[in-house]
């Protein structure tokens, strides 16, 4: 459907409020009704404005520019008014909707919105524009300029197949590109070239993406295709929006777009726009099109360094700035090729700096903000960095943050590296800070935008395994629901299946694997326990091992690290050790590390609590009326004693971490 709006300069002024004027308006309304009835299915028309010496009418229908030239003259002659058409232009459906909403002295024909096929679009705001043959560029020259050889080949084919009139579409198109503005320019130039050779009737282009599709409740694609016969529908699918509020609409949008592209393949041109490297979406489109439509693909070509320099030189000449080595120094010599949008970014950065330093030198010293993949940021990251030892643990956590930050950049560039697993396994003896680090991981992921909530939901066997067969799965699902957007920490995970092969253990582990897959985008699962038992636990279910991305080992602390932990705990309590107390503590730690499962950080905490109790007893024997802050906050050697070791049976009941 195309719409032409015509403005007429009348010879005689019409007073639509006079009796004679009202009679004229009634007569014009009847003529419009008769025209629509007579030309039903081909053309329709109505007057949208009539006042004094100006009249505006709209003709809707399908056909070439020549057809509309003839039909607008026929409609004007039918009206029988004296005047001259002074302006004709093709307008969008949005313009027509606005015009029909305006009050006019001439009543519009009944069902005019249905005639013009915009009744279904009453509540949908289309993103559309119109291109014309007059603004057409040499498509092959343009394609070579942006290094798109596939488009240059198609330009040659279009030039070799001119038509006298539009008869259908031999092919449709798929354009890859990360620069939305350039992609739209490319489509505009393609449409202009097709119209020039009568391969299209209309220059109207409707642009639909997930956001617009979502807002229009999924009916937009059908309405758009029904409305734009003879024009072009551009379907833009961006896999980098996966984590956005419109993510769930992509799959359905592709299905709907392909269905209506097939239905209207002869009268409406479809152009799919994907991000670069989005192979999965391209495969989905191919499946839905069922080989019934041939797609010509336009892919950007990565250009070598010589062509890069030529392109940058051309941009500099267009901006009328001098080409200097500083511009070419921005090219990374280790990179063999660049895409055009990357070169545009390089040049724009150079041009902005040129303006700042050469045109406005007063701003030359101003610092600039650079985007980079930083290490973990925030208070939680600082707390982790301050923890004693755990160098390997800190390194792994830092790498996970960088990895998931980079994954977002991959998506922005349209590069699909899959949906990486985020879950982890923490192995280590009691007291090695597994729980503490898990709490910090939750906060670090939240602070760095990798999790929306960043809580730590701690569970064990008793919170996950039901008393009876069939109770476990709902219990585990409830735990995952509580942990959505956060970290689910499963302590002593092997207890779920340890010596419990059969119904309970199988149900537990199978449900966990299923829920990990269902919630992998916004929930991190951390399994924790002894190293040897955790290995047996992973062997229970191969699917579980494949869903754990990172294995973090927490080693036992040595005596020096234990002393540092003691000093850190004292610092947090605004307390200190005498040198003699520190020596005694070190002596105890040297003995403790020789004992299996001595408790690590928990052992230090027990020693500190015991020392504070001993200090309290020592101080109560003094005159407290004039006691100093130093005495109240300083542990002496006599306060430091070996804490009572926790036996193995009790140790299993203690919460891991400190």
- Whichever domain contains 639, its CATH number is 1.10.8.60
DSSP 575: -
Cα–Cα dist 632/619, whole Å: 8
Q: Are residues 411 and 549 in the same domain?
A: yes
* % of the chain surpassing 90 pLDDT: 40
Q: Which residues contact 216 (CB under 8 A, 6 or more apart)?
A: 123, 124, 223
> Which segments of 180-278 does DSSP mark as H helices, in order?
180-196, 210-215, 220-227, 249-263
Res. 653: pLDDT tops 80: no
* Least confident interval from 174-178, 227-231, 565-569, 648-652: 648-652
> Which among 112-116, 120-124, 529-533 has the top mean pLDDT?
112-116
Domain that holds residue 477: 379-554
Structure confidence at residue 531 (pLDDT): 83
Res. 651: pLDDT tops 50: no
Confidence of residue 107 (pLDDT cuts 50, 70, 90): very high
Q: Are residues 153 and 197 in the same domain?
A: yes
Quote the mean pLDDT of the chain.
Answer: 85
Res. 139: pLDDT tops 90: yes
Residue 371 resides in a domain: no
Q: HEC states along 49-86?
A: EEEEEEEEEEEEECCCHHHHHHHHHHHHHHHCCCEEEE
Residue 400 resides in a domain: yes
Structure confidence at residue 45 (pLDDT): 95
Q: Are residues 504 and 430 in the same domain?
A: yes
Nearest Cα neighbor of 47 from 111, 108, 112, 114 is: 108
Structure confidence at residue 656 (pLDDT): 32
Contact 439, 456 (CB under 8 A): yes
Mean pLDDT of 394-421: 73
Widest CA span of the chain, in angstroms?
117
Helix axes 220-227, 249-263, angle to 10 degrees: 30
Res. 658: pLDDT tops 50: no
How many alpha carbons fall within 13 Å on the CB side of residue 195? 26
Residue 246's CATH number: 3.40.50.300
Cα–Cα dist 323/158, whole Å: 37
Nearest Cα neighbor of 545 from 365, 658, 449, 424 is: 424
Q: Which residues contact 616 (CB under 8 A, 6 or more apart)?
A: none
Cα 328 to Cα 145, 147, 255: the distances in Å are 19, 19, 45
Structure confidence at residue 491 (pLDDT): 86
Structure-model confidence comparison of residues 120 and 443, the more confident one: 443
> Which among 137-146, 351-360, 403-412, 541-550 has the top mean pLDDT?
137-146
Tens digits of per-residue pLDDT, 515-538?
988 888 789 999 998 888 888 788
Q: Are residues 413 and 490 in the same domain?
A: yes
Confidence of residue 244 (pLDDT cuts 50, 70, 90): very low
Mean pLDDT of 356-363: 86
Residue 226 resides in a domain: yes
> Containing H/E element for 456?
strand 456-459
337-363 burial string, b = 16+ CB within 10 Å, else e?
Answer: ebbbbbbbebbeebeeebebeeeeeee
Q: Which of 277, 298, 319 is the last residue of a domain?
A: 298
Structure-model confidence comparison of residues 403 and 504, the more confident one: 403
Structure confidence at residue 498 (pLDDT): 55
**The tokens 């309590």 sit on which residue?**
573
**Could you count the other beta carbons within 10 Å of the beta carbon of residue 6?**
20
Residue 373 resides in a domain: no
Nearest Cα neighbor of 228 from 98, 132, 148, 118 is: 118
Nearest Cα neighbor of 268 from 302, 233, 242 is: 233
Nearest Cα neighbor of 301 from 157, 409, 141, 152 is: 152
Confidence of residue 580 (pLDDT cuts 50, 70, 90): very high
Tokens in use for 56? 């505006």
Residue 372 resides in a domain: no
Tokens in use for 590? 């040297």
Q: Are residues 514 and 393 in the same domain?
A: yes
Structure-model confidence comparison of residues 657 and 464, the more confident one: 464
Q: Which residues contact 144 (CB under 8 A, 6 or more apart)?
A: 152
The number of distinct structural domains making up the chain is: 5
Q: Are residues 230 and 289 in the same domain?
A: yes
Mean pLDDT of 301-310: 91
Mean pLDDT of 97-102: 90
Res. 652: pLDDT tops 60: no
Confidence of residue 650 (pLDDT cuts 50, 70, 90): very low
Q: Are residues 184 and 279 in the same domain?
A: yes
Tens digits of per-residue pLDDT, 593-607?
888 778 788 889 899
Q: Which of 511, 531, 554 is the last residue of a domain?
A: 554
Structure confidence at residue 243 (pLDDT): 44
**Could you count the other beta carbons within 10 Å of the beta carbon of residue 168?**
9
Contact 523, 488 (CB under 8 A): yes
Q: Are residues 402 and 543 in the same domain?
A: yes
Residue 374 resides in a domain: no
Helix axes 379-386, 434-447, angle to 10 degrees: 150
DSSP track, 535-573: HHHHHT-HHHHHTEEEEEEEPPP-HHHHHHHHHHHHHHT
Contact 85, 72 (CB under 8 A): yes
448-467 burial string, b = 16+ CB within 10 Å, else e?
Answer: bebbeebbbbbbbbeebbee
Residue 368 resides in a domain: no
Residue 46's CATH number: 3.30.70
Mean pLDDT of 636-645: 85
Q: Are residues 134 and 110 in the same domain?
A: no
Res. 646: pLDDT tops 50: no
Contact 45, 35 (CB under 8 A): yes
- For residue 94, count CB atoms less than 10 angstroms from its CB and return exposed for 0-12, middle for 13-18, buried for 19 or more: middle
Q: Are residues 337 and 403 in the same domain?
A: no
Contact 438, 524 (CB under 8 A): no
Res. 632: pLDDT tops 60: yes
* Least confident interval from 77-81, 271-275, 395-399: 395-399
Q: Are residues 138 and 280 in the same domain?
A: yes
Res. 80: pLDDT tops 70: yes
Structure confidence at residue 41 (pLDDT): 74
Q: Which of 298, 317, 348 is the last residue of a domain?
A: 298
Q: Are residues 289 and 328 in the same domain?
A: no
Confidence of residue 648 (pLDDT cuts 50, 70, 90): very low
Res. 179: pLDDT tops 80: yes
Residue 657 resides in a domain: no
């Amino acid at each position: 459907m195309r719409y032409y709006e015509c403005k007429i300069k009348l010879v005689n002024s019409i007073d639509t409020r006079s009796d004679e004027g009202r009679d004229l308006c009634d007569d014009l309304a009847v003529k419009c009704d008769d025209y629509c009835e007579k030309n039903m299915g081909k053309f329709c028309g109505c007057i949208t404005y009539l006042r004094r010496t100006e009249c505006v009418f709209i003709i809707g229908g399908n056909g070439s520019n020549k057809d509309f030239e003839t039909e607008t003259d026929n409609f004007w002659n039918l009206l029988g008014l004296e005047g001259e058409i002074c302006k004709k232009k093709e307008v969008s459906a949005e313009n027509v909707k606005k015009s029909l909403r305006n009050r006019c002295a001439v009543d519009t024909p009944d069902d005019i919105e249905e005639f013009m096929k915009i009744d279904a679009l009453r509540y949908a705001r289309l993103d559309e524009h119109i291109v014309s043959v007059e603004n057409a560029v040499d498509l092959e020259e343009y394609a070579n300029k942006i290094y798109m050889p596939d488009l240059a080949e198609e330009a040659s084919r279009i030039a070799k197949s001119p038509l006298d009139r539009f008869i259908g579409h031999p092919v449709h198109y798929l354009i890859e590109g990360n620069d939305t503005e350039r992609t739209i320019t490319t489509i505009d130039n393609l449409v202009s070239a097709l119209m020039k050779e009568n391969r299209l009737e209309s220059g109207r282009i409707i642009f639909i993406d997930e956001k617009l599709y979502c807002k229009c409740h999924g009916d937009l694609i059908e309405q758009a295709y029904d409305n734009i016969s003879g024009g072009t529908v551009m379907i833009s699918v961006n896999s980098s929006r996966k984590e956005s509020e419109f993510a769930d609409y992509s799959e359905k949008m592709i299905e709907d777009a392909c269905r209506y592209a097939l239905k209207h393949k002869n009268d409406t041109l479809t152009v799919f726009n994907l991000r670069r490297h989005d192979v999965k979406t391209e495969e989905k489109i191919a499946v839905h099109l069922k080989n019934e439509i041939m797609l010509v693909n336009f892919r950007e070509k990565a250009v070598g360094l010589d062509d890069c320099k030529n392109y940058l030189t051309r941009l500099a000449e267009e901006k009328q700035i001098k080409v200097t080595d500083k511009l070419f120094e921005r090219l990374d010599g280790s990179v063999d090729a660049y895409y055009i949008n990357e070169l545009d970014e390089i040049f724009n950065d150079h041009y902005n700096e040129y303006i700042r330093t050469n045109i406005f030198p007063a701003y030359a010293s101003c610092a600039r903000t650079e985007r980079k993949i930083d290490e973990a940021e925030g208070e939680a990251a600082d707390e982790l960095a301050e923890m004693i030892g755990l160098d390997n643990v800190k390194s792994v956590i830092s790498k996970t943050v960088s990895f998931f930050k980079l994954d977002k950049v991959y998506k922005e560039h349209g590069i699909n590296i899959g949906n990486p697993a985020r879950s982890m396994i923490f192995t280590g003896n009691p007291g090695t800070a597994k729980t503490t680090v898990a709490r910090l991981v939750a906060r670090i992921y939240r602070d760095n935008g990798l999790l929306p909530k960043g809580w730590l939901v701690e569970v064990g066997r008793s919170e996950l395994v039901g008393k009876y067969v069939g109770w476990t799965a709902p219990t585990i699902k409830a735990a995952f629901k509580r942990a959505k957007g956060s970290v689910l920490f499963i302590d002593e995970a092997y207890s779920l299946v340890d010596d419990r092969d059969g119904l309970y253990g199988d149900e537990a582990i199978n449900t966990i694997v299923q829920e990990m897959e269902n919630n992998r985008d916004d929930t991190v699962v951390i399994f924790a326990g002894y190293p040897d038992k955790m290995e047996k636990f992973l062997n229970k279910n191969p699917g579980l091992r494949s869903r754990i991305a990172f294995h973090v080992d927490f080693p036992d602390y040595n005596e020096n690290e234990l002393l540092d932990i003691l000093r850190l705990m004292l610092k947090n309590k605004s307390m200190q050790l005498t040198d003699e107390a520190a020596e005694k503590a070190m002596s105890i730690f040297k003995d403790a590390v020789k004992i299996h499962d001595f408790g690590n950080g928990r052992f230090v905490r027990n020693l500190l609590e015991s020392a504070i109790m001993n200090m309290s007893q020592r101080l109560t024997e003094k005159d407290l009326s004039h006691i100093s802050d130093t005495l109240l906050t300083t542990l002496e050697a006599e306060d430091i004693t070996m804490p009572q070791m926790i036996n193995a049976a009790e140790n299993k009941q203690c919460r891991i971490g400190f």
